[in-house]
Amino acid sequence: MKKTILIIDDEKDILNMLSRIIELEGYNVFKAPTGKEAIKLFKKERIHVVITDVKLPDISGIELVNTFKEINKAAEIICLTAYGKIEDGVKAIKQGAFDYLVKGDDNKKILPLLSKAYDKAELQYKILRLKSQISEQFGFNRIIGSSKPLKNAIEMAKRVAPMDTTVLILGPTGSGKEVFSRAIHSESNRATESFLAINCSALGKDLLESELFGHKAGAFTGAIKDKPGLFEEAHLGTILLDEIGEMDLELQAKLLRFLEEGTFIPLGESREKKVDVRVISATNKNLQKAVEEGAFREDLYYRLSVFTIDLPGLDQRKKDIPALANYFVKNISLKANKNIKTVSKDFIQALQEHHWKGNIRELRNIIERSIILANEEKLTADLLPFDFLLNSNPGLSTGLYKLKDVEKEHIRNLLKYTKGNKTKTAELLDIGLTTLYNKVKEYELE
Ligand SMILES: Nc1ncnc2c1ncn2[C@@H]1O[C@H](COP(=O)(O)OP(=O)(O)OP(=O)(O)O)[C@@H](O)[C@H]1O
């Protein structure tokens, strides 16, 4: 990226002299005699540093500092004050200017100061670029769906993201709790710091305690070295405590202390540590019920649920299935090196009629399976597992009550599914091939 400087002064001689000195150092210089022209240029170009006279014909240079910072926080501003007007420089710094120089007096100071301001601006641009990359990869744009319950959840999450508030995400398994936590982190001021996630149900109490809070060598058998916990590693970042409802009561007390005071004591340590970590917790359990049953601390529940986001299960947002399916087809086929060009209507319809116990994770897996099985460039319903074809009870939903009628319909569906392959159909039915032939004859299914 070019090193770009904007100089603002209504005195032509000073403007030209300054720009010549600065251009000789390899900077790309824009010049403006008034505040208005400067703002126009500032909006159009990617400026690193602005050098502005405080006294301009239209706007005061101090006011400009504010305007520039509102338009682009990454750029830095150096103000030029008249001799004996130090108070103007102080005011400019208060408004957010990088520094000030006394006009005419400090000509030798300008280049070193400019170089420092440029380095700071460049670093700020780098952070902005990183943030936008993170947001593209993990931000809310990645969350697919336009159904009302999902939009509500996104709206809530976007609001809380920039705050440091503790967030509790409730939703059934596979509904996107981790995806939401990452999006909240990536749109927060902590975006360029770590995001660490841990599943509290996957480890026993002692191991989880050591994972979260770390341990000192000798704290328990096998603890050979000091080991920092996730809270220490996530310092300045965010931690997701997934399946928080499964956390042991003793550990809940330790977590509560951390949330109240920001401190904890690693296993086997005597001194406490202090870190700055935002906590997001998630669960598919009814925590209020767990509180009533004495399995979850009430004080911790209130501390964690300062801001709660409810994620709908996929059955509550079937409208989102086509968009989600297309998104997964595109992503997975690219990774699997398959060229799936279309998805048939009956494929989408079967997905929409299914009861999604595993929610979006299940949908993703089903699509991945279908892509692997597909021989053509199209996904069709026959690639789906059999229970998708018979999405509901074949008897009750079709008005068939007699056992014989249900049996006939079931065999017909299975034959359709196996594309008439009788050996496979008999296997699925768990009956002999001869029995199947007899039934096909009896029900006139040929
Ligand atoms: N709205 C969404 N758009 C795109 N992908 C999604 C969305 N929600 C979830 N996914 C995908 O679905 C899968 C499951 O999501 P995630 O792991 O966030 O669910 P979870 O609720 O945290 O699950 P668990 O309760 O098992 O921890 C992931 O592959 C994730 O990328």
Percent of the chain past pLDDT 90, that is, above it, reads 65
| 229 Cα: distance to centroid of ligand 1 (angstroms) | 26
Closest atom of ligand 1 to CA, residue 242: 27
Question: Is residue 284 in contact with ligand 1, taking CB distance under 6 Å?
Answer: yes
The CA distance from 95 to 30, in Å, is 23
- Nearest CA, atom 28, ligand 1: 361
120, 246, 270, 411, 412 from 439: Cα distances, Å: 81, 51, 76, 9, 11
The CA distance from 33 to 55, in Å, is 11
Judged against a pLDDT cut of 80, whether residue 66 lies above it is answered with yes
| 178 Cα: distance to centroid of ligand 1 (angstroms) | 6
CATH number for region 4-132: 3.40.50.2300
Residues 6+ apart with CB under 8 A from 292: none
Of 361, 362, 366, 368, which is best to mutate to test ligand 1, by the most ligand atoms within 8 angstroms of its C-beta?
361
Per-residue pLDDT at 388: 76
170, 232, 301 from 163: Cα distances, Å: 19, 21, 20
SS (HEC) of 153-208:
HHHHHHHHCCCCCCEEEECCCCCCHHHHHHHHHHCCCCCCCCEEEEECCCCCHHHH
> CATH for 145-310, among 3.20.20.70, 2.60.40.1230, 3.40.50.300, 3.30.1360.70?
3.40.50.300
The pairing of strands 99-102 and 273-274 is: unpaired
The CA distance from 101 to 280, in Å, is 46
Q: What is the three-class DSSP state of 322?
A: helix
Question: Is residue 179 in contact with ligand 1, taking CB distance under 6 Å?
Answer: yes
Residues 6+ apart with CB under 8 A from 100: 54, 78, 79, 80, 81, 88, 89, 90, 92, 93
Closest CA to 134 of 188, 176, 84, 208: 188
Mean pLDDT of 294-307: 94
The pairing of strands 167-170 and 307-310 is: parallel
Closest atom of ligand 1 to CA, residue 179: 18
Q: What is the CA radius of gyration of the chain?
A: 32
Sign of CA dihedral 256, 262, 265, 270: negative
Judged against a pLDDT cut of 60, whether residue 422 lies above it is answered with yes
Per-residue pLDDT at 414: 86
pLDDT 10s digits, 14-34: 899 999 999 999 999 999 999
Per-residue pLDDT at 226: 86
Structure tokens that stand for 354 in this block: 């299914």
Of 154, 170, 178, which is best to mutate to test ligand 1, by the most ligand atoms within 8 angstroms of its C-beta?
178
**What is the CA angle 325-168-207, rounded to 5?**
95
The CA distance from 195 to 161, in Å, is 13
Domain map of the chain by residue range?
Answer: 4-132, 145-310
- Using a 10 angstrom Cβ sphere, with 0-12 exposed, 13-18 middle and 19 or more buried, the burial of residue 250 is exposed
Closest atom of ligand 1 to CA, residue 173: 25
Query: Concatenated DSSP letters for 54-91?
Result: S--SSS-HHHHHHHHHHH-TT-EEEEEE-TT-HHHHHH
Higher-confidence residue of 398 and 6: namely 6
Per-residue pLDDT at 135: 75
Beta bridge partners of 53: 80
Q: How many helices (H) and strands (E) does the chain have?
A: 20, 14
Per-residue pLDDT at 269: 86
Sign of CA dihedral 401, 402, 406, 412: negative
4, 76, 78, 122 from 119: Cα distances, Å: 12, 10, 13, 5
Question: Is residue 151 in contact with ligand 1, taking CB distance under 6 Å?
Answer: no
Question: Is residue 182 in contact with ligand 1, taking CB distance under 6 Å?
Answer: no
Per-residue pLDDT at 159: 96
**What is the CA angle 77-40-56, rounded to 5?**
60
- Nearest CA, atom 31, ligand 1: 179
Question: Is residue 144 in contact with ligand 1, taking CB distance under 6 Å?
Answer: yes
Per-residue pLDDT at 1: 65
333, 418, 424, 445 from 415: Cα distances, Å: 29, 5, 9, 9
Closest atom of ligand 1 to CA, residue 171: 21
Q: Do domains 4-132 and 145-310 have the same CATH topology?
A: yes
Structure tokens that stand for 311 in this block: 């994620």
Mean pLDDT of 260-276: 91
- Nearest CA, atom 25, ligand 1: 173
The CA distance from 272 to 269, in Å, is 8
| 421 Cα: distance to centroid of ligand 1 (angstroms) | 37
Question: Is residue 174 in contact with ligand 1, taking CB distance under 6 Å?
Answer: yes
Of 360, 363, 364, 367, which is best to mutate to test ligand 1, by the most ligand atoms within 8 angstroms of its C-beta?
360
Round the average pLDDT of the chain to a whole number and report it: 90
Per-residue pLDDT at 393: 43
Question: Is residue 245 in contact with ligand 1, taking CB distance under 6 Å?
Answer: no
Q: Evaluate whether 328 touches 364 at the Cβ level (below 8 Å).
A: yes
Closest atom of ligand 1 to CA, residue 144: 3
- Nearest CA, atom 16, ligand 1: 176
Of 158, 179, 367, 368, which is best to mutate to test ligand 1, by the most ligand atoms within 8 angstroms of its C-beta?
179
pLDDT 10s digits, 366-414: 999 999 988 888 898 888 887 776 654 444 555 667 888 888 888 988 8
373: left (phi over 0), alpha (psi -120 to 50) or beta: alpha
The CA distance from 427 to 64, in Å, is 79
Place of tokens 């087809």: 329
The dihedrals phi and psi of 227, each to the nearest 5 degrees, come to -135, 125
pLDDT 10s digits, 124-145: 999 888 887 887 788 999 999 9
